[in-house]
Structures are given as structure tokens and as C-alpha cells.
Structure 1
Amino acid sequence: MEVTYTCQAAPGGRPNDDFVIATERYIVVLDGATAPAGVDSGCIHDVPWLVAQLGTHLARTLSTEQAAPLVEVLRSGIEATMASHADTCDLTNRDSPSTTVAILRRGAEDVEYAVLGDSAVIVEQRDGELVVGHDDRTSYLPAYGVEAVSQARNTEWGFWIASNRPDAADYAVTGLVPVSAAYRAAVVTDGITRLVERYGRSWADLLKRLDSHGPNQLVKDVRAEERATPAGQYRGKVHDDATAALCRF
């Protein structure tokens, strides 16, 4: 598997809360949730620390336990990350730092994926059919204020994300495509999926553009759309960190 990617912070000088680790067998992409101003997370660490810890733990398991199911890889990564700051932080706090996770792994027989939170994996098969792993549960929340999102995090009626609940792994969106059928794939954070969700492009268009012009151009496409959009038209940030990875099989 050949992997090409970019991982870029949003304009404005804030730290990048996205994180990527890639090898010839797997890619792990994380998108840390920006901490709301004034909210006590119970944690002494910032979001980049969390995504680096979790990403490293996931990569270690993917490298050493190659047959482990991705849901179990995700569960053990969350458990290991929690253990790394259990002595210093309040891991019962519902606003503990959190992150989305998207994993794509090429095995001997299958290309597998697991997505937790609002990132996405798009796999194109050799016959042109797309398989999309996209967790869109945050699109259906009854409200989007800080308190409402906090209440919905890691609940049956809300959405699931990697934080202080190892069982969140059970709610990941998962799937597989036979290696013989897989042609190319994209692994992207919601800083890129907004091309589809906000700006009207299709998953097929996104993947084709990524392959034809590269990850950096895809981020430029996002920034151009963001600058051209009237202020306040969409919920959430005007700009977001953006990670786009292209995998060729």
C-alpha cells in the first residue's frame, strides 16, 4: 500500500489537533476535538498530547498484533492512553479531551477500516463501486451548544468518540473490502469531509481530485470554499484542521 498525505492546521496560528501515522500496511488519522473556552476538562494535557498518545498506542498495536480486530485495537489504544494520565487527571470528567479516529489496514486478504467520530474512509473498488465508512452521528444531535454536545458525547442517543470510555470502540463504523477488489482509498478528517457535507461535492469527486491533484490541493480546495462562504452560513468553525490521505493498493 502506498500512502501520500498532508496534515495541516487551520489558518490562524492555533496548534494542529490532527495527527497521522502511516506505514505500508496501515494508516491512523486522528482529529482532536478543540477544547471549548472555559470548560474544565479535568485534564492537565492539551488535545495535541492526547492525539499523539492515542495515535502512538494504536500504531504500536497495529505493528505488533497484526491479526487483532480493529475494534480491539481501538479499545486497547483508548485503555493505554487513559492509563498514561490516570494518575494526573480526572478521567471521570465527561469533558475529558477527545478525538476522532480513522484506521485503514491492508491485510493479506482484506482492506479493513474502523471510524469513530466524524472522520471518513472512502474505498474505491476496481469496478468503480465506492465503500464509504463515515460516522455522521454528530449531524443528528438535537442541539449543538457546548453543554448539549457535552451531554451527548459517548451516549447511545448522541455520538461516540475516543476519550475516557474504552467501550466507545464498540460503536465504531467498520467494514472491509477484499484486497483483490481494492483500487484506492482516502482517509480524511472532517476538515476535508466538509467538501461533501457543506459544499456539495460527492465522495467520488473528492477521491478523484485527491488522486489527480494530491492532498495539498484538496486542502486548498477546502480553504477556497471556506473563504467564499458567507459568515454564519454553516454551524461550527469557519476553518478547521484538515488531513487528507490517499492510499493506493
Structure 2
Amino acid sequence: MSFQLATDPAKLDRPNEDFAAVGSNAAVLLDGAGTPPGAESGCVHGVSWYARTLGGLLLSALSPGASLTGALASSIEYVNRLHVGTCDLKHAETPSATVVALRWGDTDCEYLVLADSVLVLDRFGEAPDVISDNREAIVGRELRKPMDALPTGTTEHSQALREYVAALANHRNRPGGFWIANTEPAAAEQAITGRVHLDEVTAFTLLSDGATRLVDRFGLTTWRNTLDTVATDGAAALIKQIRQAEYSDPDGRVWPRGKAHDDATVVYGHPNG
């Protein structure tokens, strides 16, 4: 298995809250849920620390034989122990993260997807198989309307963003809402999981939601074209295209969004590379 990885922060003066890593038998991508400027999280470490710490622990827990959901649950519990003494883990805005995980053996690959990062399988002779967890998008569709009606970057938009994030928190990790990694290990059981034979797949692509914008928010391209861009020009080329689109609409008038730019991360792997 061979991989390439590219990541780019939304802003140079803020930490990249995405995390991705590849090991000998597994790969992980996490997208930390950022706290809007001016909002408190109850955590002295921050979202970037949370995504990086959970991601590293999860990668090390994905040993052969362990269940993917079990590995994620135990990793969440371990992170809880690391900062329960210094942070308010019951705070509504305590750090959280989406999770995509792959683990492969000699003949097949298992995957896990929790919240709105995406895994795309490029299959022989078929359309790409897009594995995504859209429960947060469904919940947020109505909640985000006041924010999306305002120009990105304005004081009014920033306030609406804080209100949107606070409202979304009321639906986090509960039935009828959406599930994400934060302080509740049982959320791991709500992840989308599956298995695919390696001889059915030509490539795996893991993307944070900042790296899927061209398709699912801007509607400028297709998953097929996205995979072709990464395969031909590299993972960084896809992120460059996203940045160009974002800069063409800085106020979010064409494509309403919470942030003008988002952290963007792509992990691209070949089973027989």
C-alpha cells in the first residue's frame, strides 16, 4: 500500500485542526470541530491538540484483530483521561472531531466513517463509491439558514456562526441528531463501517470536509473528476483548486458557508502501490 498526503490550514495564523497519518497497516484522518472566535470550549488544549491526540492514539490502536469501533471507543476514553483533570469535558463546546479510518490486510480493507469527513473508493470499472455520514448535514440544514444569508466575514455572520455552532451542539451525540468523536466512547458504535476486497479497488481517498467543497458545497466538479485530479496531479493540486474557488467568492455570496476557507486534508492510497 502506498500513500500521498496533503494538508493546508484555513488561515496561517490559526492551527490546522485536521490530522492525518499513515501506519504500516492503517490510515486515519480527523477533522477537529473548530470553536468559533470568541467562543469558549472548556478545554485548555484546543481542537488541534484533540484531533492530533485522538488520531495518534487511534492509529496505534488499529492492530489486527481489534474492531475499528472498539479501537475508536478506547481511544476516545484515553483522551478523556488525558485532560479530564484540566478541562471541562461536559462543556457544550468541548473539542470534537470527525473520523475516517482504514485498516488493511493481505486481501481486504476495513473502514470506519464518523461525521462529515469522507472516504471515496475508486472501484474497477464502476463509479466511485462515496462513503459519507450525512447526519450532521441533515440536522444543520435548517439551523444554518440565518448564517448562510449573511456575507462571510462580517460581524453579523460571525455572530450567526457562533449561534449555529451552539444550536448544533444540542443535537450532538444523541438519537435523531448526529454522532462525532468527543467525550462519549459510545459514539464510536454509531460510525459507518464496512469491508472491501483489495482486488476490487484501485484507490482510496480520505478527505476532510474542507477538501470536498468543490463537489458537495460548490458543485463545481464530480467525485470522478476529483479522483482523477488527485491521481494525475497530486493531492495538493486538489486543495489548490479549492482555494482558487474560495478566493473567487470571499463573501460567500455564491456559496454560503460558515468559513470562507477551511482546513483541507487529502490522503490518497493505492492498494498495490
Report the TM-score when normalising by structure 1: 0.93
1:244 partner letter: V
1:103 partner letter: A
TM-aligned CA deviation for residue 199 of structure 1: 2.2
Q: Deviations over 1:163-205 (max 9, x none)?
A: 0111111111222211121211100000111111122222121
- Taking the aligned partners of 2:223 and 2:193, their CA distance within structure 1 comes to 18
How many pairs does the alignment contain? Answer: 247
Tell me what 1:237 maps to: 259
Q: Deviations over 1:59-109 (max 9, x none)?
A: 1112xx312121111111111111111222222223211111111222233
Confirm whether residue 146 of structure 1 aligns to residue 168 of structure 2.
Answer: no
Q: Deviations over 1:203-226 (max 9, x none)?
A: 121111111110110100100111
- Which residue of 179, 186, 189 maps to 1:167? 186
Tell me what 2:158 maps to: none
- Which residue of 85, 88, 101 maps to 2:99? 101
1:105 partner letter: R
Confirm whether residue 199 of structure 1 aligns to residue 201 of structure 2.
Answer: no
- Taking the aligned partners of 2:216 and 2:178, their CA distance within structure 1 comes to 17
- Which residue of 205, 208, 214 maps to 1:186? 205
Contact 1:111/1:182 (<8 A) preserved: no
Tell me what 2:129 maps to: 131
Q: Deviations over 1:103-161 (max 9, x none)?
A: 12222332221111110000112233422211122221231313211111212222111
Contact 2:17/2:263 (<8 A) preserved: yes
TM-aligned CA deviation for residue 230 of structure 1: 5.7
Between 1:142-151 and 1:156-165, the stretch displaced more is 142-151
TM-aligned CA deviation for residue 12 of structure 1: 4.4
1:13 partner letter: D
Confirm whether residue 119 of structure 1 aligns to residue 117 of structure 2.
Answer: yes
Tell me what 2:237 maps to: 217
Contact 2:127/2:224 (<8 A) preserved: no
For residues 23-42 of structure 1, the aligned pairs below 5 Å read 23-42=23-42
- Which residue of 38, 55, 76 maps to 1:78? 76
| 3-state secondary structure, aligned to 2:91 | coil
- Taking the aligned partners of 2:130 and 2:185, their CA distance within structure 1 comes to 24
Q: Deviations over 1:1-57 (max 9, x none)?
A: 101011111134211111111124221111111112343322221111111210111
- Taking the aligned partners of 2:12 and 2:60, their CA distance within structure 1 comes to 33
Report the TM-score when normalising by structure 2: 0.86
Contact 2:33/2:97 (<8 A) preserved: yes
Judging changes above 3 Å, is the alpha-carbon distance between structure 1 residues 230 and 15 closer, same or farther for their aligned structure 2 residues? closer
- Taking the aligned partners of 1:147 and 1:167, their CA distance within structure 2 comes to 22
Between 1:4-13 and 1:70-79, the stretch displaced more is 4-13
1:43 partner letter: C
Between 1:1-10 and 1:154-163, the stretch displaced more is 154-163
Contact 1:3/1:23 (<8 A) preserved: no
| 3-state secondary structure, aligned to 2:29 | strand
- Structure 2 unaligned blocks of 5 or more: 145-163
